[in-house]
Amino acid sequence: MKARVKWVEDRTFVGETESGHKMVFGTASGADGAKPKPGPSPMELVLIGAGGCSAYDVVHILEKGREAVEDCVVEMDAERAETDPKVFIRIHMHFIVKGRALAEAKVKRAIDLSIEKYCSATAMLSKTATVTHDFEVVDTQV
């Protein structure tokens, strides 16, 4: 895997993936952060990456099990260390999985497999952070 990051100005950067996708990111700049953020911060992207990785796994596992999954949202809450490097020390992932007559046990299994086995992003983050999760199933058949 390859990627490229180019400095644009102030605290604004553009990242480009090997597949050609580009994203603007950075942090507030100027006196006391007077200039707004141009996009997500690098650490916000790391957190989003973990959520995306796990959501992908959950949808894939449920579809493979022929579950009628229609939506998967991961709401994350994280805490970082107070000193440099300000790594994540706590991450909680709340999954909201919607579908028609989804089996709660299968949703739980899919989430557990993602967090504990398949998601490389959460595997890396769990080296410094306590990663917890819970979930809710919303039946759209009602």
Q: List, for residues 56-73, the tens digit of each pLDDT value.
A: 999 999 999 999 999 999
Which SS3 state, helix, strand or coil, does residue 15 take? strand
- Give this prediction's pTM: 0.93
112-134 pLDDT per residue, tens: 999 999 999 999 999 999 999 99
Give the pLDDT score at 23: 96
Element (H, E) at 105: helix 104-113
What is d(CA 76, CA 54) in angstroms, rounded to the nearest whole number? 11
Task: For the chain, give the number of residues.
Answer: 142
Evaluate if residue 31 carries a pLDDT over 70: no
33 pLDDT more than 90: no
Q: How far apart are CA 123 and CA 94, in angstroms?
A: 17
